Structure 1
């Protein structure tokens, strides 16, 4: 007889590897307790946040008016080709193409709440 043990669902992606992928984003974005808006808005609490809503950041009209609320599926589309997902965005990043890199950066970003503290 086999015992049925509950399995713990593991989020896709490795936050430690995602921190390395995030180095590609750090030229424009900050995250964490001391994050500030820079060339791009700070990314604390990204998932569940409406596009164009970080106080003090000057967004393009495309971002402000997109009506998008960031979730994992939308972010996956966006980060592969930002200008295709939100035409008119100021974001000049060409995108991440590797799905493992995307999984990892999502796992990294999900660690940070709106206050910048790791959850």
Structure 2
């Protein structure tokens, strides 16, 4: 009985060894344990990055020339949670903005405590500086305490600046850029029938010797011996 059990167990063990060896051999042959991948797993689709810097695209003087303080007042409504704009108005979360255009950046304003990002910026609130600030305060002055995200449209920023100027004044708007000169169309045709153009003399003017010499080359009648001669007094 024990001999038969030992024999059977031996065959089972032998079969297991054979199966394990076959598995190892097949994995080495077919690289089953290290599956190969294609060199490129996919491809990248290029596209415009979000939040890219705005190209020039506009002339500030031109946009300001069309700015509307009334439209700026409507946009400023979202600023009233932090700012007042009336003369002598109190500071709130942000400073009172009466007379801001042309003032030093980050200074004064009834003792308002500006962040060092603005107080150390330097310069004055020109329209160019204010345009950059209103576009993105955090990009203009990294570290500013102002949480406003900014206005992406140049027209909205121009309207706000017009409203600020209407409340406390400010410097003159920058002059709009001069329009580019239009180039003449290529291949312009010359009107040969225009006065002074072409081979013949101009009617009503004295012909120059060169014109007189070349006049016969034009489409003009030439006298011939067969030309009829009229007698005075005949119709």
Regarding TM over 0.5, the answer is yes
Partner Cα distance (1:11, 1:111) in 2: 14
Aligned-CA RMSD value? 1.6
From 80, 84, 88, the equivalent of 2:135 is 80
2:75 — aligned with what?
A: 21
The answer as to whether partners of 1:11 and 1:107 remain within 8 angstroms in 2 is no
Partner Cα distance (2:143, 2:126) in 1: 20
Uncovered stretches (5+) of structure 2, i.e. residues with no partner:
1-63, 170-235
Where do 4+ consecutive residues of structure 1 move more than 6 Å? none
Q: Shift in Å at residue 111 of structure 1?
A: 0.7
Larger helix share, 1 or 2 = 2
**1 or 2 for the larger relative contact order (CA 8 Å, sep ≥6)?**
1
Residues 1:31 and 2:85 are matched in the alignment = yes
Q: Shift in Å at residue 33 of structure 1?
A: 2.5
The verdict on how the C-alpha distance between 1:35 and 1:12 changes in structure 2, with shifts beyond 3 A counting, is farther
Aligned residues: 105
Residues 1:92 and 2:147 are matched in the alignment = yes
In the superposition, the TM-score normalised over structure 2's length comes to 0.43
1:101 — aligned with what?
A: 156
Q: Shift in Å at residue 55 of structure 1?
A: 2.5
Deviates more, 1:15-24 or 1:46-55: 46-55
The answer as to whether partners of 1:12 and 1:107 remain within 8 angstroms in 2 is no
Q: Shift in Å at residue 71 of structure 1?
A: 0.7
- The superposition leaves residues 33-72 of structure 1 with CA deviations (integer Å, 9 ceiling, x where unpaired) of 3521000001111111112212221111111111131010
Higher gyration radius (CA): 2
- The superposition leaves residues 12-49 of structure 1 with CA deviations (integer Å, 9 ceiling, x where unpaired) of 31011110000111111110135210000011111111
In the superposition, the TM-score normalised over structure 1's length comes to 0.81
1:61 — aligned with what?
A: 116
- The superposition leaves residues 58-107 of structure 1 with CA deviations (integer Å, 9 ceiling, x where unpaired) of 11111111113101011001101001111111111000111221111111
Partner Cα distance (1:34, 1:67) in 2: 24
